[in-house]
Protein backbone atom coordinates (compact mmCIF):
# COMPACT_ATOMS: atom_id res chain seq x y z
CA UNK A 1 0.00 0.00 0.00
CA UNK A 2 2.80 2.37 0.90
CA UNK A 3 4.43 1.76 -2.47
CA UNK A 4 1.23 2.74 -4.27
CA UNK A 5 0.83 5.80 -2.08
CA UNK A 6 4.39 6.93 -2.74
CA UNK A 7 3.68 6.74 -6.49
CA UNK A 8 0.42 8.66 -6.12
CA UNK A 9 2.04 11.32 -3.93
CA UNK A 10 5.16 11.56 -6.04
CA UNK A 11 7.38 10.84 -3.05
CA UNK A 12 10.62 8.87 -2.99
CA UNK A 13 9.85 5.14 -2.65
CA UNK A 14 13.31 4.40 -1.18
CA UNK A 15 11.93 4.09 2.35
CA UNK A 16 9.31 1.62 1.14
CA UNK A 17 11.95 -0.51 -0.58
CA UNK A 18 14.11 -0.41 2.55
CA UNK A 19 11.17 -1.76 4.50
CA UNK A 20 10.70 -4.58 1.97
CA UNK A 21 14.37 -5.49 2.37
CA UNK A 22 13.93 -5.68 6.16
CA UNK A 23 10.73 -7.68 5.77
CA UNK A 24 12.54 -10.28 3.69
CA UNK A 25 13.85 -11.92 6.87
CA UNK A 26 10.36 -12.28 8.29
CA UNK A 27 8.96 -13.47 4.96
CA UNK A 28 11.74 -16.05 4.62
CA UNK A 29 11.13 -17.31 8.18
CA UNK A 30 7.38 -17.61 7.55
CA UNK A 31 7.93 -19.42 4.23
CA UNK A 32 10.36 -21.90 5.76
CA UNK A 33 8.11 -22.42 8.78
CA UNK A 34 5.11 -23.23 6.56
CA UNK A 35 7.09 -25.29 4.03
CA UNK A 36 4.96 -28.02 2.52
CA UNK A 37 1.78 -27.00 4.30
CA UNK A 38 0.87 -23.46 3.24
CA UNK A 39 1.99 -21.78 0.00
CA UNK A 40 0.87 -18.26 0.91
CA UNK A 41 3.94 -17.28 2.94
CA UNK A 42 6.04 -18.39 -0.04
CA UNK A 43 4.02 -16.04 -2.27
CA UNK A 44 4.77 -13.25 0.25
CA UNK A 45 8.49 -14.04 0.07
CA UNK A 46 8.33 -14.06 -3.74
CA UNK A 47 6.65 -10.64 -3.72
CA UNK A 48 9.26 -9.25 -1.36
CA UNK A 49 12.11 -10.52 -3.51
CA UNK A 50 10.55 -9.30 -6.75
CA UNK A 51 9.80 -5.85 -5.36
CA UNK A 52 13.40 -5.43 -4.23
CA UNK A 53 14.80 -6.27 -7.66
CA UNK A 54 15.80 -9.88 -7.05
CA UNK A 55 13.92 -11.28 -10.02
CA UNK A 56 15.60 -14.69 -10.28
CA UNK A 57 15.13 -15.46 -6.58
CA UNK A 58 11.59 -14.11 -6.61
CA UNK A 59 10.60 -16.18 -9.63
CA UNK A 60 12.11 -19.30 -8.06
CA UNK A 61 10.02 -18.77 -4.91
CA UNK A 62 6.96 -18.03 -7.03
CA UNK A 63 7.41 -21.34 -8.85
CA UNK A 64 7.71 -23.15 -5.50
CA UNK A 65 4.50 -21.54 -4.26
CA UNK A 66 2.58 -22.45 -7.41
CA UNK A 67 3.87 -26.03 -7.24
CA UNK A 68 2.68 -26.23 -3.63
CA UNK A 69 -0.77 -24.99 -4.66
CA UNK A 70 -0.94 -27.63 -7.38
CA UNK A 71 -0.08 -30.36 -4.86
CA UNK A 72 -3.13 -29.36 -2.82
CA UNK A 73 -5.57 -29.55 -5.72
CA UNK A 74 -7.93 -32.52 -5.70
CA UNK A 75 -6.71 -35.26 -7.99
CA UNK A 76 -9.10 -36.51 -10.68
CA UNK A 77 -10.65 -39.86 -9.88
CA UNK A 78 -10.04 -42.70 -12.25
CA UNK A 79 -13.11 -44.21 -13.90
What pLDDT digit, counting tens, does each position of 58-77 carry? 999 999 999 999 887 888 88
At residue 49, the pLDDT reads: 94
pTM: 0.76
In the chain, what are the domain boundaries? 12-71
Indicate the pLDDT class of residue 7, thresholds 50, 70 and 90.
low
Task: Determine whether 48 is exposed, middle or buried from the number of CB atoms within 10 Å of its CB (0-12, 13-18, 19+).
Answer: buried
Residue 5 has pLDDT above 70, yes or no: no
- Report whether 3 contacts 15 (CB < 8 A): no
What is the rounded average pLDDT of the residues 12-38?
86
- Sign of the alpha-carbon dihedral angle for 8, 13, 15, 16: positive
Least confident of 15-19, 34-38, 46-50, 69-73: 15-19
Amino acid sequence: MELLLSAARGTDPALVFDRFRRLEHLARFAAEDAEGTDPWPVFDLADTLLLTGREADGLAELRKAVAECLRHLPQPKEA
